[in-house]
Structure 1
Amino acid sequence: MIEIVETGPLNTIQDLGRPGYRHVGVTGCGAMDPLALQIGNILACNPAEAAGIEVQTFPFRLRFAFRAVFAVTGADCRAKLDGLELPPWSVAEAEPGQVLELRPPLKEARAYVSLAGGVDVAPVMGSRSTSLRGSFGGLEGRVLAAGDRIATGTAAPLLPKGGFSVVPPAVGLKDVFPVAEGGALVIRALPAGEHDLFGADAERFWNQPWKISARSDRTGYRLTGDPIHPTETVEMRSHGVVPGVIQVPPAGEPIVQMSDANTAGGYPKIGGVIEADLWRLGQAPIGSMLRFTPATHGEAKALEKALATYLYDIRQTARLVAAALAAMA
């Protein structure tokens, strides 16, 4: 059991999402940075589908009612346990009454708290993710509030004293993720169905920087920049969309669909962010500058393989630590 002591708007319970219901208008939801949540679950010895807490407004504090093992991943929010600094991307143990504090991150947007045994809320359509627009899932379909008491599983894996941390993906995968260009985050995308309708403006889409607007949220990132338009007006029927799809409304400033993506839309699609880069986009704060660069299907598959290898290495590290502790017990 944990108690939320201090929180802000938009902090929610999320897992890896709610697949299989888009055809009936139910968005998938799930963590904006699924890689961080997966790593947190590995460190906390949880199954992959376990839910954690996504924190995107700070400061955030929670109190542990019982002894608990927890991991903090994602944005480096200078986490403290009863005032003692914790390393980023780490797992640690809390005693009853201790308070975990997450402070505003210096660079990225979202941190994840994974608790051994997972967050114990009722699944809805196979997922514990919060749908704020649908008001279901998570904790009563809403954001977390001070005073909320949330049940957790009973797992309590063995840890070395002080816990341990892992190499962050930005470091461990630096060879396969492009560095910022002139302060702009480089995001890879595939040209989409209506790409060629934009003529010369399609080139401007790839060549100019875009800024994440303050009108962005978990549903989509609205981008500001020099508007782009199709060469002719095209009347399109509404069609299915998924996270990563980049649509261009009549005003000419793109919208990137994110974790709470609409299930359908009729705006022309100029591109689609590759899945391996969605976690990086999910960590981009409001006001960040982006540049899109064309990718191929082969490159996307190679990146997925690199991510899978990185996660496998972290699982092996966690297993080796657990085996060593069990042998010493």
Structure 2
Amino acid sequence: MFTTHSIFNKMNELGAAKVPFFFMIDFLKEKGEVIPLSELNNDILFEVNSSQKKSINKKIKFEKFPLNYEDYLKRFEVVHQNLLFGNSYLTNLTFPTKIETDLSLDEIYEYSQAKFKLKYKDEFVCFSPERFVKIENRKIFSYPMKGTIDADITDADKLVLEDEKEAAEHATIVDLIRNDLSLVADNVHVTKYRYLDKVKTNDKNLLQVSSEISGDLEDNYQEKLGTIFDQLLPAGSICGAPKKKTIEIILEAENYERKFYTGVFGVFDGENIDSAVMIRFIEQINNHLYFKSGGGITAKSDSFSEYKELIQKVYVPIY
């Protein structure tokens, strides 16, 4: 496993040689893997921009044991006070939830219906609905996702799009990502703003709100793939704004290690690149499974609503 700058140097080296490779980078950009596709083995399984739909032929056991609301509230207050003091405009607060399921990590990987899927050894599995960046024909695209609601609620689409807190949170992240892309690209602009995607899960349907932002890269961008990702990470949608101070707040409030959760993974095909944010993430720790999830907190956030959203995001998209 590579550490810090060697991750990005290797991406630059392979990109310049146009060698197809897989990569994954943890939340704090401290560890990662960069492996030519010709050298990959079955320890790492992944799908990028998948449209596969495979149903499982059994009733699923899936139980969750979240931290209690009182413990969540203590961490929420750390974030909320920083927001009120103006140290952050938006902070993504996450926690691990212990789960019990009769699904193996292999089954979760195989049957999860998600655009982006990754299984890393016997350590974790990710089934992410959120693309990080796509680079195609000298153009870079990013798709920040902020805003989730139970799709079966009456007028759910209207409620989530008209919710003042959700709108402010989404606008903040779009502005942050637009600024991030401007570090590596020209002519950066929002091409689609606040559109809805439907996600089906093992127990309900969700609506999630995304936007599309694009920009133009230099002709030799393949030589700078690692440099580009180094400048863009951590992903704005899973930390907040301003990024540097908000990460300090996250480390103080969460009091656990995200590791690869909320990092990114992706693939370079020799010409173009596609990648995902590692959300919807199940990790095996000491023979127990933990689902890491969270949400964006603003000064207007209600603690109990945020607590319920954290639990709502603990699911598998298997049916």
| Band of TM-score, shorter chain | under 0.3
**Hey, which of these two has a bigger chunk of helix by percent?**
2
Q: Relative contact order (C-alpha < 8 Å, sep 6+): which is higher?
A: 2
Q: What TM-score do you get using the length of structure 2 for normalisation?
A: 0.26
